[in-house]
Amino acid sequence: RQRIFSAMQPTSDSLHLGNYLGALVNWVSLQDAYDAFYGVVDLHALTVPTDPAVLRERTRRTAAQYLAAGVDPQRSTLMAQSLVPEHTELAWILACHTGFGEASRMTQFKDKVAKGQTANVGLFTYPILMAADILLYDANLVPVGEDQRQHLELTRDLAERVNARFPETFVVPEPYIVKGSAKIQDLQDPTAKMSKSISADLGLIDLMDDPKRIVKKIKSAVTDTEREIRFDPENKPGVSNLLVMHSTLSGTTVADLERAFEGKGYGDLKAEVADVVVAAIEPFQSRMAELLADPAEIDRLLAEGSAKARLVAADVLERFHDRLGLLPRR
């Protein structure tokens, strides 16, 4: 069976609808056909200073949200990055294969710095640790949103570079980025992506938001001055964003939605999108309430999954160590 690796940062108490539609929905649907590893990348979250108790809680909550969305720990391996030390070990070696200019071209880093985030060296080398996350599992496929495309390109470049010197060391991973849902836009500024670090409260739907707030946020979404409900991200980003949300959750194609909403108004579209989103989120939230009632069980699942992940990661790292000329461990 082919492998999947993907992960999210535990940088907030709740994932948002972009994380859910752009990534998590696909994690769930891919776990049957693939041998899947899903991580909470707590070391990546250290690039932003966070209160220790808050970080620990967010790591648990992030894992719980994977489970609440339908990731099944019997079928998929749930892991925490810091519990598998091979991630940081491989990141060092990959850093020695990354050009300084190449790392400097990462747009997410440049954007964060431009928006005033103080840049530590960890934020700069972040994509290299991400490459290590993926390459350690011989992952064939990486389901992520559009904003991770450049990081995936770097991962592929690093794998190919290493393979050119030491043939067949790494599997070169393919991105799995679904057109449309891979870039859920901010409700208040539909020309920008929904983002936990940038979006204003009204622009972003948290999966843990009160359903009443969710309805309110969708009803106040920015659209345009026309009336026609048509998928046209260029000229009608707000309406197109709502159509994508509906389509991804309801399974109705955008073309069918356009037909169904012919002659209807934006108010009708918003009301129906709100219904569809709330219908998905309500069972998610009740599952979260059950999971959070037993945090020790989440810790147990993470520890168990991480031990399993480590068996794979240690083999892949050992293979690379051997080719590089480092001494054998065992």
Q: Which residues bind ligand TYM (CB under 6 A)?
A: 5-9, 18-19, 22-23, 41, 44, 130, 133-134, 142, 144-145, 147-148, 151, 182-184, 193-194
Report in angstroms how near the CB of residue 149 gets to ligand TYM at its nearest: 9
Residue with tokens 């690039």, as numbered in its chain: 47
Report in angstroms how near the CB of residue 175 gets to ligand TYM at its nearest: 9
Report in angstroms how near the CB of residue 227 gets to ligand TYM at its nearest: 27
Does 270 count as an annotated binding residue?
no
Does 146 count as an annotated binding residue?
yes
Say which amino acid occupies 115: K
Does 106 count as an annotated binding residue?
no
Taking the least distance from each CB to ligand TYM, the nearer of 150 and 169 is 150
51 CB neighbour count, 10 Å cutoff: 9
233 CB neighbour count, 10 Å cutoff: 17
Taking the least distance from each CB to ligand TYM, the nearer of 178 and 260 is 178
- 196 catalytic per annotation: yes
Report in angstroms how near the CB of residue 93 gets to ligand TYM at its nearest: 17
Taking the least distance from each CB to ligand TYM, the nearer of 107 and 290 is 107
Taking the least distance from each CB to ligand TYM, the nearer of 182 and 298 is 182
Catalytic residue (choose from 110, 115, 193, 264): 193
- 193 catalytic per annotation: yes
What is the C-alpha to C-alpha distance for residues 181 and 185, in angstroms, rounded to an integer? 9
- Helix (H) or strand (E) segment spanning residue 138: none
Task: Return the residue nearest ligand TYM (CB atom).
Answer: 22
Which two tokens mark 269? Answer: 């579209």
HSE at residue 35, side-chain half, CA atoms within 13 A, is 11
Catalytic residue (choose from 115, 183, 196, 212): 196
What is the C-alpha to C-alpha distance for residues 183 and 32, in angstroms, rounded to an integer? 24
Taking the least distance from each CB to ligand TYM, the nearer of 26 and 223 is 26
Does 9 count as an annotated binding residue?
yes
Does 193 count as an annotated binding residue?
yes
Contact 108, 150 (CB under 8 A): yes
Residue with tokens 């990959």, as numbered in its chain: 94
What's the sign of the alpha-carbon dihedral 87, 39, 144, 122?
A: negative
Strands (E), 96-178: 141-143, 174-176
155 CB neighbour count, 10 Å cutoff: 26
Q: Is 15 exposed, middle or buried (0-12, 13-18, 19+ CB in 10 A)?
A: buried
Does 19 count as an annotated binding residue?
yes
Binding residues for L-tryptophan: 133
Annotated catalytic residues are: 112, 193, 196
Binding residues for ATP: 9-11, 18-19, 145-147, 184, 193-197
Binding residues: 9-11, 18-19, 133, 145-147, 184, 193-197
